[in-house]
Structure 1
């Protein structure tokens, strides 16, 4: 089958249209608005001539010429024409035959031309039926995908016999470009025409399926987004009604805080990852709550916040003198630190000071004074009884209720990277199956390691090198050796009565008056009263019990004033020595009954306790027996061994000491230390035991007014002991003026303040024979 054109051309009116290719056998509406096109339709209608509809090449051309339109179009019949109020005309045309413009006539009002009719003649090819079915099947699929094409079109195709006519109807309904449709209309070979139509259908179906798949995915996402938006809006309303917080912008707020924080880049990166995880979790889930808490900790830590230091040594010394009396060496050490900070600047690492001394001597308050003098923040916590390593390093976030360790907690509380951190009771730290807290503190207190301290909860390195760590302890022998090695030990031995009186008048009483609403016009406590309170009610190394006793006096006076009325004519209340019994009751402490005269078998020894120095009166008697040594007074193993060592020395040197007449197998010795309910132990009673046993065995009397301390060896050497300062202060409190001390401890005495040693006589001995010569009457 071939296409042929009619020999004779017919003169027709030509109607150029935009974005439309009209095929034969198709009825379409056209909206005409251009003046020239309107005139063309009017004349064609008046003259009853057919209308040749042809596509315009360029849609934007407002007044097309012959070169602006295609030459092949469709000869149409105008079925209906309706004028619209806006001036346009709607016509309904039916495509009849293909045509080609052979000659174009153009005037100012209309388009005209000679149109040659194109006809399909001769028989169809043998494969045309197969091509026809392919077109129908593909078009049916096309219609099923494109919802804009009515299903009735497929039904109408069943009534069309000619394959080319079917192809015209199908081509007219395709949503393809004008160029492609014009190409279909212009093909002169019917087989090529239908094959090209099949190809176009297959391409369009593939594109539409892909487009439909994309649209479905987009639709699902949009539906999900709309659903989430709807649910979030509902959640907002519910939370508003319940008075709960709106979490809609939580992620944005967290990211903003992270960006504004001064965290290191690694920590910021980790925080952003956690925020991303949080954004994908349900807000009410338990894991989301854990993440929020973790992020709050990261944002709250002072990663790069410092407190400006006070490096004025004069001002610092004035503050230290205001807060504490005495403690010259401690204050000097603090001023040394300030001087180093002035010269070395930030190169000076944080120091670790350990204040060791009995309770109540001002260890904690001294740390607070250091913070005040330096102008740094102060935080503190107690290590007493801590047995879990997680208390220091924190818990891992995998555990329920996990939280950072105390170090990180206190850094957050301080809000600065260079606080003063006080760790109380480091000598009472323990360990069990949960780990060793002391080992965890090794990293914290080591200036070479703590710049990258890692808490198990935070999981990011935190710099502790700018922190000044201060620890307190009552004793040092219970502190693990590696931990003690990292600290600079500063001992606070205690106060004598003169110091306590000064502390009470300058520090304790003004503070207590303020706490109890009293003034100097209401109450007066004399120095003699304070002295008697110290001697008879609060014998201790520190001033804690003294403060409690003075507080009792203030409460009693406050009660009396309130009862009689503030506005009454109550005179100033003065508390004298004789009034103490009425306020505090009978004295609870009495002086140790020291020997006032020469006595046999009674020696005064000096001992060290956690509460400071103390005086012990050791007694011994010799009696017939089986050669045993009897020790009473709740003595520990070390003191028992000291007694046995002293006895061994006496037996070995019995001839030199005038004891050769004693039958040791039938001689028992009983040694007793009074206050048997109190445990006593320590390596400093050796020479005291030797003196008291020699006195009991030889009947040589002990001279009064002498106290002693020192350990003994089997060779009779006097070995050095500790706690010299505390023991000397204890002797001074008991008004003992002669003290026997090991020669190796001479340097300890020389380093003491002058007021401590004033009025005392010291005997430095290296051999126990010297002790016997000083303490016992001569043979």
Structure 2
């Protein structure tokens, strides 16, 4: 079978009125078509619309429009109305079912073209279209603007053809050609013919105009439209829809202000006076259907209970004590306001921001909050978002305009107070389409979001009842004004013990269920689980751990299935001995600490986006003039820290505060006699400091005391303790300043088997309560304030 073929449900329409890149309402009365729509809507929602051949009610053309069913409505007269969004064209290759109609299709591909020739032809086409617009009022300025702005010549042809409405055979010939040059030339011929036709009609109308009475003319036109609707079976349908819209508006009137009511009513009145087949009528009808779906006045009635909240958080998450405590405090305030009857006027949407490495449970905490509140959850992925209109909505003058994602989120939630998760708020981009952070400022400010204006709806929406929860990996990437609107809750890395408990209580049972396995069929020993955590994952959270467990479950399912086919009943047990049969590759998260003390190698602690890490900083000396070379993809701040460390150690050597075993090189002794002065030892040697994994960028000041220790080691010819690691910023005066990410760094030291860790005194005083107890018990944590204290602990 051709891999380019795909199966799809098909309906056949009378007229070619649907094109790619259009959102169009389609009315269907044929039962076979209705069955095909229902079957497509219950599955992928993808549908192919084909068209009957001219003069036939059975045979149809093989090239049609592939698109998505956005909405379907059963009408009282037995017909069905769908809102169809065209995506592209396809060629029907073979029919596999006739009731409902289904077949295999292949994506329609246009031939390559000469860009210069096409540009020249497009200029002629635009010139003729402008001329036609001067004599034909049905050619809208929006169409002229769209053809000027569009870049794809094939899309330009489809846009113009949808407005010209040529004869069926001509329309299909234009639709089905795959040569863009031929399409453009044929379209120019049709436009020229239409211009001549319009000229002739104008001449005839000018002759008749003086003989017609104004009242008789209006009566004639209205009667003509009524008869056309009667022939098409549309009589009464428009009135029913208008009445339905007015009923919906009357129901929501108590919950909306005068501005919103006036705007919606104005658009309904406009639609009632329009011809149903006009393009503007479709745009207005889409608008009315969108805005009437907004759940005005609908708020959740669930009462908040902090006992339920605590229970929900504990059942969904292991550990995370500090974030859970803060969330419970937030709900306690909400419950107290509700009990004292002040919630509606005093409480405002609180914006929490969970930040931390990937996979630690930021989004799942938001899910738990929504469950505890009994509210709908709406997730907006902001990663890479650059277009302001994605959030605020597109103005209705643009083709394919839709409400913004905030408004669509309210519609999906069916309430005005959902829990809305703004995922990856630190990865919002800025481009020529605008700065989305400016819109987020309005959305997240409780003083402004009462009147959030969506460009599509053209009225203000009240977002003050929405609970906004943002997630981020690196809050330093969030603009300062946006930070001011949020309250940050850090979710740090998990310890190996915490990961083991999470795997036992959550991950393994969930993956067993997901893979159709029973609890007794697969077992993973504690030793195997610890080895998976230590040797097969490299992360702060548990996302990769879940993937590794899923891999085990897949292979276990295959093994159980194969053995059951042989008539046996199988159980799979994974232990340390057979773990390599289920998992392919070992990824050491952190290199274990060396057991032998060495000169010129030190254990530094670093923070990364996936948690803490142990950096083995190395330095060598060669005969020279006291210069310092730095390698390892270091940032500017880290390079400055290395130079500061070098200067601090040189001062200690000059003042005799650091004992050195190095001696003056023999080849330099005569030179010293000539200079008539004794040079300090560091002037005889050039140093080369390197931080391994040179392909990984590294920056920050927290490696200052580690680099000072390794430089002191190489210049004093003394070994550094292999079981000691350290972190701290160093000043020129030798003071040790506090650093960030202490929890992740100490967890990394604990995993690497380090015995003793040196940290700044300020961190020791204020941050140790956040460190897991097993880490504190497994490490000797020493506070240092000066470089002399550091060297006393590190040098042998």
Q: TM-score, normalised by structure 1?
A: 0.69
Paired residue total: 557
Q: CA deviation at 1:479?
A: 0.7
Query: For 1:423-462, what aligned pairs fall within 5 Å after superposition?
Result: 423-462=422-461
Query: For 1:38-49, what aligned pairs fall within 5 Å after superposition?
Result: none
Tell me, yes or no, if structure 1 residue 720 matches structure 2 residue 738: yes
The 1-side partners of 2:401 and 2:382 are apart by 19
1:368/1:590 Cα in 2 relative to 1: closer, same or farther (>3 Å)? Answer: closer
Q: CA deviation at 1:431?
A: 0.4
Q: CA deviation at 1:759?
A: 2.8
Tell me the equivalent position of 2:225: 228
Tell me the equivalent position of 1:685: 703
Tell me the equivalent position of 1:556: 555
The 2-side partners of 1:671 and 1:756 are apart by 30
Tell me, yes or no, if structure 1 residue 312 matches structure 2 residue 298: no
Tell me, yes or no, if structure 1 residue 672 matches structure 2 residue 690: yes
Query: For 1:16-415, what aligned pairs fall within 5 Å after superposition?
Result: 222-236=219-233, 246-261=237-252, 262-345=255-338, 346=343, 347-415=346-414
Comparing 315-324 with 666-675, greater Cα deviation is found at: 666-675
Tell me the equivalent position of 2:795: 776
1:661/1:700 Cα in 2 relative to 1: closer, same or farther (>3 Å)? Answer: farther
Does the residue aligned with 2:224 lie in a helix, a strand or coil? helix
1:626/1:286 Cα in 2 relative to 1: closer, same or farther (>3 Å)? Answer: farther
Comparing 758-767 with 598-607, greater Cα deviation is found at: 758-767
The question of whether the paired residues in 2 share the 8 Å contact of 1:594 and 1:617 is answered with no
The 2-side partners of 1:282 and 1:246 are apart by 12
The question of whether the paired residues in 1 share the 8 Å contact of 2:538 and 2:589 is answered with no
The 2-side partners of 1:680 and 1:487 are apart by 29
Tell me the equivalent position of 1:169: none
Q: CA deviation at 1:709?
A: 0.5
Q: CA deviation at 1:625?
A: 1.9
The question of whether the paired residues in 1 share the 8 Å contact of 2:500 and 2:529 is answered with yes
Tell me, yes or no, if structure 1 residue 754 matches structure 2 residue 751: no
Tell me the equivalent position of 1:632: 631
The 1-side partners of 2:777 and 2:352 are apart by 30
Q: CA deviation at 1:555?
A: 0.3
The 1-side partners of 2:259 and 2:584 are apart by 66
Does the residue aligned with 1:613 lie in a helix, a strand or coil? strand
The question of whether the paired residues in 2 share the 8 Å contact of 1:303 and 1:462 is answered with no
Does the residue aligned with 1:300 lie in a helix, a strand or coil? coil
The question of whether the paired residues in 1 share the 8 Å contact of 2:593 and 2:753 is answered with no
Query: For 1:733-748, what aligned pairs fall within 5 Å after superposition?
Result: 733-746=751-764, 747-748=766-767
Tell me the equivalent position of 2:44: none
The 1-side partners of 2:774 and 2:446 are apart by 37
In structure 1, runs of 5+ residues without a counterpart are 1-214
The 2-side partners of 1:650 and 1:594 are apart by 25
The 2-side partners of 1:663 and 1:737 are apart by 33
The 1-side partners of 2:364 and 2:559 are apart by 32
The question of whether the paired residues in 2 share the 8 Å contact of 1:264 and 1:303 is answered with no
Does the residue aligned with 2:753 lie in a helix, a strand or coil? coil
The question of whether the paired residues in 2 share the 8 Å contact of 1:739 and 1:763 is answered with yes
The question of whether the paired residues in 1 share the 8 Å contact of 2:682 and 2:715 is answered with no
The 2-side partners of 1:601 and 1:304 are apart by 69
Tell me, yes or no, if structure 1 residue 704 matches structure 2 residue 722: yes
Deviations 1:561-611 (A, max 9, x none): 222226933232111111111111242326514221322111101100000
The question of whether the paired residues in 1 share the 8 Å contact of 2:629 and 2:687 is answered with yes
Q: CA deviation at 1:454?
A: 1.0
The question of whether the paired residues in 1 share the 8 Å contact of 2:755 and 2:780 is answered with yes
The 1-side partners of 2:695 and 2:579 are apart by 29
The 2-side partners of 1:479 and 1:687 are apart by 30
Comparing 536-545 with 224-233, greater Cα deviation is found at: 224-233
Comparing 572-581 with 755-764, greater Cα deviation is found at: 755-764
The 2-side partners of 1:414 and 1:469 are apart by 14
Task: Look at both structures and tell me which one has the larger radius of gyration over its CA atoms.
Answer: 1
Deviations 1:733-765 (A, max 9, x none): 122231111112120113434344223222112
Does the residue aligned with 1:739 lie in a helix, a strand or coil? strand
Deviations 1:170-189 (A, max 9, x none): xxxxxxxxxxxxxxxxxxxx
The 2-side partners of 1:586 and 1:388 are apart by 41
Deviations 1:50-91 (A, max 9, x none): xxxxxxxxxxxxxxxxxxxxxxxxxxxxxxxxxxxxxxxxxx
The 2-side partners of 1:625 and 1:393 are apart by 63
The 1-side partners of 2:743 and 2:281 are apart by 59
The 1-side partners of 2:294 and 2:287 are apart by 11
Does the residue aligned with 1:397 lie in a helix, a strand or coil? coil
Does the residue aligned with 1:730 lie in a helix, a strand or coil? helix
Tell me, yes or no, if structure 1 residue 417 matches structure 2 residue 416: yes
1:265/1:772 Cα in 2 relative to 1: closer, same or farther (>3 Å)? Answer: same
Q: CA deviation at 1:543?
A: 0.6
The 2-side partners of 1:459 and 1:501 are apart by 52
The question of whether the paired residues in 1 share the 8 Å contact of 2:590 and 2:748 is answered with no
Query: For 1:599-614, what aligned pairs fall within 5 Å after superposition?
Result: 599-614=598-613
Deviations 1:23-73 (A, max 9, x none): xxxxxxxxxxxxxxxxxxxxxxxxxxxxxxxxxxxxxxxxxxxxxxxxxxx
Tell me the equivalent position of 1:29: none
The 1-side partners of 2:788 and 2:769 are apart by 24
Q: CA deviation at 1:469?
A: 0.8
1:225/1:715 Cα in 2 relative to 1: closer, same or farther (>3 Å)? Answer: same
The 2-side partners of 1:643 and 1:260 are apart by 70
Q: CA deviation at 1:394?
A: 1.7
1:590/1:299 Cα in 2 relative to 1: closer, same or farther (>3 Å)? Answer: closer
Q: CA deviation at 1:328?
A: 0.7
Tell me, yes or no, if structure 1 residue 489 matches structure 2 residue 482: no
Does the residue aligned with 1:565 lie in a helix, a strand or coil? helix
The question of whether the paired residues in 2 share the 8 Å contact of 1:340 and 1:348 is answered with no
